[in-house]
Amino acid sequence: MKTQLESAREGVATIQMEQVAEREGVPLAYVREQVAAGTIVIPWNNNRKPQAVGIGKGLSTKVNASIGTSSDIVDYAAEVRKAQAAQRAGADTLMELSVGGDLDRVRREVIAAVDLPVGNVPLYQAFCEAARKYGDPNKLDEELLFDLIERQCADGMAFMAVHCGINLYTIERLRKQGYRYGGLVSKGGVSMVAWMMANRRENPLYEKFDRVVDILKKYDTVLSLGNGLRAGAIHDSHDRAMVQELLINCELADLGREMGCQMLVEGPGHMPLDEVETNIRLQKRMSGDAPYYMLGPISSDIAPGYDHITAAIGSAQSSRYGADLICYITPAEHLALPNEQDVIDGVKAAKVAAYIGDMNKYPEKARERDKQMSKARRDLDWQRQFDLALFPEDARAIRASRVPEDENTCTMCGDFCASRGAGELFKKDLCGDKI
């Protein structure tokens, strides 16, 4: 069975491409051409057939939500509820990142609970299983790792973050620069670095990259090149280790596409705003416009409890300059395992950020909704305002909780409503019918 990329290269527009074109309001021929070029991916799995979601050039910026158990909290039902809450809140994709409990069970229950494309990080389960089996994660056998990747793809993973870009050369860059302010923050990245150092061997995911690609191609699963050495602190952004891994991942993206596999490149986690544009331009240039999956980025290190906001600020900039998929951050980031409300808050903050970015990335297409909202506010058309809102039920609930005496106003201004006063001053004879 051919991948979306292989079909597109043969001039075939799949049902998934048709669904993406309809959802995005773009010509089908455009979607097929960009899938063929590797600048749009459609996370998919031949065993599961999730919603068709297009990620990439010329499409709206998508939002990913991440859930999963920890070694401290294992509640399968809670993860299912979080997955469903993420979908209701508007997430476009979902990552299942469990590291505690029965990892096959939680993955399968989450996949069954939603129809979003679901992704994961295979290294998590690989090192967990090695620790349970051998008492030491560094005794992981590479055959176990490749078998696990196959098993997870067979379960229906639509995309998979695989840490192929960490190699002995990138570790040497980390050593020579004198480590980092924020250290290493990727669980998969740290585990792979530890394995390589303990075994004095090259990363098998890099060394046998063609084997990784062959497995994911079999299921048409998108290979997301994991960012294991991403900066976990503002002052580590764009250090040599981070840039070296990005360079390798961009090279691997080219190679994977040549082999017929859909490819994503993952971006950093913490970054000051003045570096966002440069980072995205660099990735796009080096990868031939491969879709870019940004993990935030978190734009300040000093706001624990509000990192959904620091990330939303970074995500809006990322979307503006060309990022294609952003990973939400919840208020619990750096503090605790997210609960259901954290997931909802994280998704909604990221959706706002993605929309703001798209307003600037596609101004002619994306700003019409804002113009219509402005007119509805001017005219005190409350129903129209709710219809245009990103989260209409939230807006309705706030208004209903503080009902004004005059239903045409709100309790913010009441008798001093500026929109009502201005409307009385500037009648149709001044405004005409132009607006």
Contacts within 8 Å (CB) and 24+ apart, 251-257: 251/286, 252/164, 252/165, 252/206, 252/209, 252/225, 253/38, 253/225, 253/287, 253/288, 253/290, 254/287, 254/288, 255/209, 255/213, 256/209, 256/213, 256/223, 257/5, 257/38, 257/288, 257/290
Distance CA 122, CA 166 (A): 15
Cβ atoms of 149 and 122 within 8 Å: the answer is: yes
Contacts of 13 (CB under 8 A, 6+ apart): 7, 28, 29, 31, 32
Copy the structure tokens of residue 336: 């605790």
Fold adopted by 4-364: TIM Barrel (3.20.20)
The answer, yes or no, to whether residue 352 has pLDDT greater than 70, is yes
pLDDT at position 427: 66
Q: Is 371 exposed, middle or buried (0-12, 13-18, 19+ CB in 10 A)?
A: exposed
Average pLDDT over residues 159-174: 96
The answer, yes or no, to whether residue 434 has pLDDT greater than 70, is no
Cβ atoms of 142 and 119 within 8 Å: the answer is: no
Average pLDDT over residues 176-197: 95
Cβ atoms of 330 and 371 within 8 Å: the answer is: no
Q: Which of 272, 197, 285 is nearest to 246 (CA)?
A: 285
Q: What are 267-280's pLDDT values in tens digits?
A: 999 999 999 999 99
Q: What is the largest CA-CA distance in the chain?
A: 82
DSSP string, 38-64: TSEE----TTT------EETTSPPEEE
pLDDT tier, 286 (very low <50, low <70, confident <90, very high otherwise): very high
The answer, yes or no, to whether residue 397 has pLDDT greater than 60, is yes
Reduced to 3 states (helix: H, G, I; strand: E, B; else coil), residue 197 is helix
The answer, yes or no, to whether residue 171 has pLDDT greater than 60, is yes
Helices (H) and strands (E) in the chain, counts: 21, 10
pLDDT at position 216: 98
Average pLDDT over residues 415-419: 81
Q: What are 73-100's pLDDT values in tens digits?
A: 999 999 999 999 999 999 999 999 999 9
**Least confident piece of the model among 81-85, 144-148, 315-319, 400-404:** 400-404
Cβ atoms of 140 and 126 within 8 Å: the answer is: yes
The answer, yes or no, to whether residue 426 has pLDDT greater than 90, is no
Indicate yes or no: pTM above 0.85.
Answer: yes
Share of the chain above pLDDT 90, in %: 91
Residue 351: what residue type?
K
What are the residue ranges spanned by the domains of the chain? 4-364, 368-431
HSE-up (13 A, CA, CB side) for residue 229: 29
DSSP string, 71-116: SS---HHHHHHHHHHHHHHT-SEEEE---SS-HHHHHHHHHHH--S
Copy the structure tokens of residue 159: 């995309």
Choice between 357 and 365, residue whose per-residue pLDDT is larger: 357
Per the prediction, the chain carries an average pLDDT of 95
pLDDT at position 418: 82
